[in-house]
Structure 1
Amino acid sequence: MPALPYSITISNEERTYLRSLIKTRTIQAQVVDRARMLLWKSEAKTDKAIADGLGVSVNTVRRCIDRYLNNGINLAIFDDERSGRPVEVTDDAKSWIVSIACQKPCDPGYAAELWTLAALHKHIQMHAEEAGYPRLKTVTKPWLQKYLKKMDIKPFKIKYYLERKDPDFENKMHDVLPVYKQVEMQLDDDGNIIIPDSGHLTHTVSYDEKPGIQAIANKYPDHNPTEENGYVRRDYEYVRLGTLSLLAGIDLLTGEVIPLVSQSHKSSDFIRFLKILDAKYPEGDTIRLILDNHSAHTSKETRKFLATLPEDRFVFVFTPAHTSWLNMIESFFSKMTKQMLKGIRVNSKEELSERIYRYFNEINADPIVYHWTYKMDEIDPDEAATI
C-alpha cells in the first residue's frame, strides 16, 4: 500500500532562508538539494516526486525530512552543526585574519619578509581549523584580497618612515630656522644685499657632501635619435670606472653654488673646501655653514685648521640628526641628479669631474636665491636679529 502524502510546516523566516540558499551560487549542490526538499515537502509533495525531481533516492529525501523534524533546519541542511548561516565569516575569524596579516611571514617561520596574497591565503587555509575558524578553510583569494582592501591593510608593501632619534629635535630645528630668517633679513625688498654699517657681512652657506657619484662608461656607443627612432638607444652593458665625491655649498645670499669634486670626502677634503671659502670671501667677514654632524666636520684635523683662523671667521650651525631636509643644499642635489647625473655616461672619471664643474658653471651663470619657507612664520624677526 503506497505511503500517504504528508507535509511539514516551516516558518516564513525558514522559508526565506531556504530560498536564499537556493539562489547562492557558491554553496554546495547538496545543500541546495536539501533546501529544495524541505520547501517541496512543505508544499505536500510526495517523497518519490521530490526524489525524482532532484535525481536522488527516496531514502535521501526521508533522511533530510527526519533530520529537520528531529533537530531543526541547520542539521537538516548541513552535515555539521553550525550556529546560524555558515556562509558568513564571524567577526572573531576576521580579527584572526587581520592578526595574521599584520605579522611578517618570518614570524610564524617562513623565509619571506613580506606576504604575497597566495602565501597569506594558503597559511590561513592551513591553520584556520586549529585556530578555531574552520569556515576560513573555504574563503577564496579574491574574498581575502577584498577584505584586506576594505580594512586598508597592505602586508605586501613597505612604506618607509624616518625615526626621530633626536629627542631634542624641535629645539635643534629652531636653532637652524633663525639662520634662514637672518638671511632673509639681509636682503631688501628688491632682493639686494643690505651692507651693514660695519661693512662686514655674514655669508651663510648651506653645505653637504654627495659621495659615490658613479663614473660609468658605455661598452658600446649610444645611437642618437633619428626620424625613424626618436629616442636615444643604448646597449645594456656598461663599464664601472669608479666613483667621485662632490662637496658643495650654496651661498644663500647670492644663490651661487660652490663645488669641489674629490676622490673622497674625508677631513682633508672638507678642509680643502673651507680653504676655498676662506679665499673667496673678504677678510673680516663671517662665513656661516649650515651642515650635518658628519665626523669630518668636527674632527681633530678640522679643529686644528680652524684654530689657525680668526675665531669668528667660520661659524658652524649643525642640523639635528637625520634631518637632511633642513639643509637647502639637499634640494639642489636632488635637482642636479635629475638634470645632469641621471643616465650620464663618460669615458673617464676625469670627464665626469669636468662635466660636474661645467654644470655648476651653467647654474651660476643665472643663479637662483633659495628661500626657506617651512615654519618661518614661527620665527620672530626681532628675536632672530639678536641671535
Structure 2
Amino acid sequence: MNAMRRTYLTLSEEDKDYLKTLSKKRTIQAQIVDRAKILLYKSDGMTFNAIAEKLAISSATVRLCVSKYYEGGIEKALFDTQRPGRPSEITDDAKAWIINLACQRPVELGYAQELWTLNALHKHIQKHAEEAGYPRLTTITKPYIQKFLKEQDIKPFKIRYYCEKRDQDFESKMHEVLLVYKQIEMQFDENGTLIVPDDYKLTITVSYDEKPGIQAISNTAPDLRPTTENGEVYRDAEYKRLGTLSLLAGIDLLTGEAIPLVSETHKSSDFIEFLKIRDKKYPLQDTIRIILDNHSAHTSKETQRFLDTMPKGRFKFVFTPKHGSWLNMIESFFSKMTKQMLRGIRVKTKQELEERIYQYFEEVNREPVVYHWKYKMDEIEKKKCCTELWMPFSAH
C-alpha cells in the first residue's frame, strides 16, 4: 500500500499515448474510459480525492484502479479479469494481420488511395480489428504502428522504382550488347590507339537513341542575374511553352564523336535521315553497327525498305532488350546533357532551342570523350536489377 501513497505514477510515453487514446474513445465501456483518465491524472500528481471529484466517482474506485496498476500494470488496472477475449498484449497473429494489411493496396480494400498513410492505416486497423478477431488492436496507437513497421522494415508509404525484365530474351540480348563492347575494346591497343586493319575495313559502332519532348520554354520577364547582394539567378515563376523538339543522337564509340539530329518528330523518316547522315560520314567499306532499342521507327517497313537499298552489311543493328536502356551508352550522354545544358534552359523561339542543342554538340566534339564499358561480362550477369547498373560505364 505504500506505493499507493505516491503522488504520481510513472508512465512511459507509449503508455500515456495508449491511455489518451482510450480516454477519448466513445465506443468502449465508460468505466474503462474513467480508469484510463484515473491513471493519466495520477501520473500528473493529482490526489485520489481530486481525481474522484473531477470524474464524479468515489475515491475508493480511484484507489482500487491505482492498486490494480501496481499489481499488474495498465491492462490489469483497465480491464476486469473476467472480461473474455481480452489478451494482455498484442499477439503474434495480430502483428501478422497488421503486416498483411500494410502490404495490401488500399484501393483493394475499398479506398481511393494507392498508398497507405500512417493515419489511414491506423484508422483501418482500429475499425476492422474487432471483426478480424483482434479486439486489442481497436486501441492501438499510431506511434506503435509506426515503430512496429519500422522494426519489420516495411514501408507501405513509399515507392521504390525498378525495371522489370519483360523480355524473354533479355539475357541473350544483353550478352550480345556486352559482346559488342568487348569487341570495341579489342579494336584499341594497350596505349588506347585505334588499330586499323590492313584492308582499312572498320566496324564503326554507334550508340543511338532518341530524346523526344524537349520543351522550348520562354520567360515572361527577363532573368535577374546574380549580384553581390543576391547571389542567385532570380526568375519569374510564370513562363510560356513554345512547343517541343526531338533529339536523335548517337555516339561513335571509336572516336567519341557525338552525332545530333534535331527534328520536330522522331518517326521512321527521321531515323532514316539519321542513317543517311552516318552513311555519308563513313567510307563505303566500313560496317556501321548501331546499338539501339526496339522502337517501332527502328523496325518499321519504311526503315527496312531503306536498309534494302544499302549495300549488304552496310548497317547492322544490335537491339537492347526491353527495359534495358541502361545497356546503351548514349543514356550517359543524355544524362550529362540534361544536367549541363537543358536544365533550366529558356529560349525565345524553338529555332533558338535547336541552335543551342547543335551548339552544345559542337562544344562537346571539340574534346570528344571515348566511352568504355567498365563492367566485366561475368559481373554484369550477376546483377538482377537495372537500377543498380545505371550508367555502368566510364569516359576516358
Amino acid across the alignment from 2:339 = K
Amino acid at match of 1:306: L
Kindly indicate whether residue 258 of structure 2 is the aligned counterpart of residue 283 of structure 1. no
Q: CA contact under 8 A between 1:164 and 1:322: conserved in structure 2?
A: yes
Structure-1 residue corresponding to 2:233 = 232
1:246–1:260 Cα contact (<8 Å) kept: yes
Counterpart amino acid of residue 314 in structure 2 = R
- 1:217-273 Cα deviation digits (max 9, x unpaired): 001111110111001000110000000000111000010111100110101101110
CA gap 1:61/1:303 in 2 versus in 1, 3 angstroms: closer
Secondary structure class of the residue paired with 1:315:
strand
Decide whether the 8 Å contact of 2:107 with 2:114 is kept in 1.
yes
Is 2:174–2:320's contact at 8 Å kept on the other side of the alignment? yes
Determine the structure 2 residue equivalent to 1:354: 355
Q: 2: CA distance between counterparts of 1:372 and 1:290?
A: 13
Separation in 2, partners of 1:124, 1:167: 41
CA distance in 2 between partners of 1:300 and 1:90 (Å)? 64
Which secondary structure state, in structure 2, belongs to the residue aligned with residue 128 of structure 1? helix
Is the 2:209–2:292 Cα contact (8 Å) retained in structure 1?
A: yes
Number of residue equivalences? 341
Q: Say whether 1:90 aligns with 2:86.
A: no
Equivalent position SS for 1:244? strand
- Between the aligned partners of 1:32 and 1:234, the Cα distance in structure 2 is 56
Structure 1 equivalent of residue 346 of structure 2 = 345
In the aligned structure 1, how far is the partner of 2:302 from the partner of 2:263?
A: 18
Cα distance between partner residues in 2 of 1:331 and 1:128: 51
Other-structure match for 2:269: 268
Q: Given residue 349 of structure 1, which amino acid in structure 2 is its aligned partner?
A: K
What residue identity is the alignment partner of 1:134? Answer: P
Within 5 Å, give how 1:1-387 maps onto structure 2: 23-24=10-11, 26=16, 30=35, 57=58, 78-79=79-80, 81=82, 86=87, 88-376=89-377
Cα gap change, 1:133 to 1:81, in 2 (>3 Å): farther
3-state SS of paired residue (2:218): strand
SS, match of residue 273 in structure 2: helix
TM-score (norm 1): 0.80
Structure 2 length normalisation: TM-score? Answer: 0.78
Cα distance, 1:60 vs. partner?
Answer: 5.3
Q: Return the letter of the residue paired with 2:203.
A: T
Aligned to 1:161, the other structure's residue is in SS state coil
The residue type paired with residue 165 of structure 1 is R
For 2:229 and 2:331, locate their aligned partners in 1 and report how far apart those are by CA, in whole Å.
Answer: 40
Contact 1:75/1:81 (8 A) holds in 2: no
RMSD between aligned alpha carbons?
3.2
Amino acid at match of 1:341: L
**Pair 121,371 (structure 1): closer, same or farther in 2 beyond 3 Å:** same
Following TM superposition, the consecutive aligned residue runs of length 4 or more in structure 1 with deviations greater than 4 angstroms are 22-25, 31-34, 51-64, 74-77, 82-87
Stretch of structure 1 that moved more, 222-231 or 25-34: 25-34
Query: 2:82 corresponds to which letter in structure 1?
Result: E
Q: CA distance change for structure 1 residues 52 and 245 in 2, over 3 Å: closer, same or farther? A: closer
Rounded to whole Å, the distance in 2 between the matches of 1:202 and 1:350 is 35
Distance across 2 between alignment mates of 1:360 and 1:307: 31
> 1:84 Cα deviation (Å)?
10
Measure the CA separation in 2 of the matches of 1:158 and 1:54.
Answer: 48
Q: Deviations over 1:150-180 (max 9, x none)?
A: 1111111111121111122111111111111
Larger Rg: 1
How many percent of aligned residue pairs carry the same amino acid? Answer: 67
